[in-house]
Chains A and B, each alone.
Chain A
Amino acid sequence: MTDKQAEILKNRIAVFFAWIAALLFFFPIFWMVLTSFKSEAQAIAIPPLLFFEPTLENYTEIQARTNYSQFAINSVITSFGGTLIALLIAIPSAYAMAFNPTRYTKDILMWMLSTKMLPAVGVLMPIYLISQKLGMLDSKIVLVVIYAMMNLPIVMLILFNYFREIPKEILEASRMDGTSTFNEIKDIVMPLAWGGIASTALLSIILCWNEAFWSIVLTTTEASTLTAFVASFQAPEGLFWAKVSAVSTLACAPIVVFGWLAQKQLVQGLTFGAVK
């Protein structure tokens, strides 16, 4: 066997194992989606069924018999709301820092990042008691505020990195023409950094959507998001595997697709810009 052939063989083996890994990692998701199309009896059948007559019954049942859509709407409101607020605060700030850096700018950004490291459980009692005092336990507003603040440091850092890539000359030219700062952000910075802003928003939405600690602790029924709703199936009486699977599939599908679309940009956001 020549070196070339050995190389090809080695490659084939690597690809084979890559596929094995991919199938193993994806399998639980595949199994969840598959189970969502089974009847409850088929879902717990022994031995487990790979082939069966698929039914949409679970999907219609959860729409009819649970408040699924309310929880889905709550998830949308809290994750989009939190993201929108974080962006509205971060865009002007990151813009000012990127184009007029001072010797404190880096320290400020690093400090912002450090607030992200504060473990939620460390501030559980104050947040819980403040929400209670304000009569806002089980309120979407509290979650929106928490999500906005939770993601603000990451959003700031990524946007800062994006804005810095915009050549300063472009801005200087527009300033000569007497453009106001607001218009400068709106007409020049935003369009140029649009891709960056969109992928930042996507990352923030993903993080909010999957957030489980605060949504479980601070909500009961009214403001519960999908993560908390799914968690409520932990009780033994909630042992309806097929229906749980249908709920889970619906809850995860949009975010998994978001994740696929944004995978390249996510790396920067997830590592706070440290891996590009």
Chain B
Amino acid sequence: MNRTLVRLLQAPSIILLLLWMIIPLSMTIYFSTIRYNLLYPERSGFIGLDNYRFFWTDPSFFPALTNTLVLVGSVLLITVVLGLAISILIDRPFKGRGIARVMLISPFFIMPTVSALVWKNMLMDPNNGLFAAFANALGMQPIEWLQDMPLFSIIIMVSWQWTPFAILIFMTSLQSQDKEQQEAATLDGAGFWSQFYNLTLPHLARPISIVILIQMIFHLAVFAEIFVTTSGGPGVQSTNLTYLIYIQSQQAFDVGVASAGGVFAIILANIVAIFLIRAVGKTLTV
């Protein structure tokens, strides 16, 4: 195969991705520096960093940033800890293991809007939901989940979907763990925690970091769960950055401010992406 042909075959993917990246990105950056509101088309012109200042000083900005970080951090903690525990529990032969595995990873394949509705209505609804029924049966006051602890409710929903992801990855990695080494350690009298700390955790170090990085990329962008359940409320209690930018663009029609927010989100995601790409790059052999 000659060089021209090699280049010709590679060209479409490279050119298309380049366009897909450059065009919207440069437009976002451009919009972020001009006055551009769909409701007031007569106002226009370059305004430097005013959109950024507007986005930055919006009273919703700081809560949204905090919510984003709390959401990402909590979900990571829950999914990694639960994922580790469950994948270790299931990493042994037993009857029906295949079925247990399938049950454990299924939530990951449920579409986010469905999972949000199932949790919002059938489980968390304070009148007819299942949790309320349990609370009533125990003689307690049902919790108004989405009203009283909206962000925590979203954290539960997202964790329910993503713990299976962690389980799936950890389970696969555990299969390649040296079982003889573990048996030897057991014979030497090493207890569970000592084995976990000295053998399992080092073996899972890479998968854990990959799971954390990939989840960060996705959780910075949580949208559907908020859109379907709380619409960011009450107030801005469950608004994250993604949802705040969505509101700016689709309800305030402020292209300029939404774009400034978009640039902010891109920078935030890229900080994570650099680490992730490095981690992936280490395993890629050319």
A residues adjacent to B (C-beta < 8 A): 11, 14-15, 17-19, 21-23, 25-26, 28-29, 31-32, 35, 43-48, 89-90, 92-97, 99-101, 105-106, 108-110, 112-115, 117-130, 149, 152-153, 156-157, 161, 164, 175, 181, 206, 209-210, 212-213, 216-217, 226-228, 230-231, 233-234, 239, 241, 244-245, 248, 251-252, 255-256, 258-260, 263-264, 266-267, 270-276
The smallest beta-carbon distance between A148 and chain B, in angstroms, is 8
The smallest beta-carbon distance between A149 and chain B, in angstroms, is 4
Contact A31/B130 with A14-B89, A22-B100 known, Cβ cut-off 8 Å: yes
Contact A93/B277 with A230-B113, A252-B114 known, Cβ cut-off 8 Å: no
Q: Are the CB atoms of A213 and B122 closer together than 8 Å?
A: no
Q: Are the CB atoms of B224 and A251 closer together than 8 Å?
A: no
Least CB separation from A113: chain B residue? B277
Q: How far is the CA of A101 from the CA of B279 in the complex (A)?
A: 21
Q: How far is the CA of A100 from the CA of B136 in the complex (A)?
A: 67
Contacts A21-B90, A123-B27, A273-B284 aside, 7 further interface pairs with beta carbons under 8 A come to A108-B14, A117-B270, A241-B121, A241-B122, A270-B214, A271-B280, A274-B280
Q: How far is the CA of A243 from the CA of B92 in the complex (A)?
A: 40
B residues adjacent to A (C-beta < 8 A): 1, 5-7, 9-14, 16-17, 20-21, 23-25, 27-28, 31, 82, 86, 88-90, 92, 94, 96, 99-123, 127-128, 130, 133, 136-137, 160, 163-165, 168-169, 172-173, 206-207, 210-211, 214, 217, 220-221, 223-224, 227-229, 241-242, 245-246, 249-250, 255, 258-259, 261-263, 265-266, 268-270, 272-273, 276-277, 279-286
Main secondary structure of the interface of B (DSSP, over half): helix
Partner of A226, one of B28, B111, B173, B282: B111
The smallest beta-carbon distance between B3 and chain A, in angstroms, is 8
Q: Nearest 8 pairs between A and B by C-beta? A: A212-B224, A123-B24, A117-B273, A259-B109, A126-B27, A96-B9, A26-B103, A93-B13
Q: How far is the CA of A120 from the CA of B24 in the complex (A)?
A: 10
Partner of A206, one of B89, B94, B109, B241: B109
The smallest beta-carbon distance between B234 and chain A, in angstroms, is 16
Q: Are the CB atoms of A48 and B273 closer together than 8 Å?
A: no
Q: How far is the CA of A128 from the CA of B228 in the complex (A)?
A: 21
The smallest beta-carbon distance between A243 and chain B, in angstroms, is 11
Partner of A231, one of B24, B104, B228: B228
Main secondary structure of the interface of A (DSSP, over half): helix
Q: How far is the CA of A48 from the CA of B262 in the complex (A)?
A: 44
B261 cross-chain contacts in A, Cβ below 8 A: 121
Q: Are the CB atoms of B277 and A114 closer together than 8 Å?
A: yes
Partner of B10, one of A21, A96, A258: A96
Contact A14/B286 with A119-B221, A122-B28, A234-B227 known, Cβ cut-off 8 Å: no
Contact A29/B106 with A113-B277, A241-B121 known, Cβ cut-off 8 Å: yes
Q: Are the CB atoms of A256 and B106 closer together than 8 Å?
A: yes
Q: Are the CB atoms of B249 and A89 closer together than 8 Å?
A: no
Least CB separation from A7: chain B residue? B186
A275 cross-chain contacts in B, Cβ below 8 A: 169, 172-173, 206-207, 210
Q: Are the CB atoms of A126 and B31 closer together than 8 Å?
A: yes
Q: How far is the CA of A260 from the CA of B221 in the complex (A)?
A: 26
The smallest beta-carbon distance between A32 and chain B, in angstroms, is 5
Contact A267/B110 with A35-B122, A125-B27, A181-B5 known, Cβ cut-off 8 Å: no
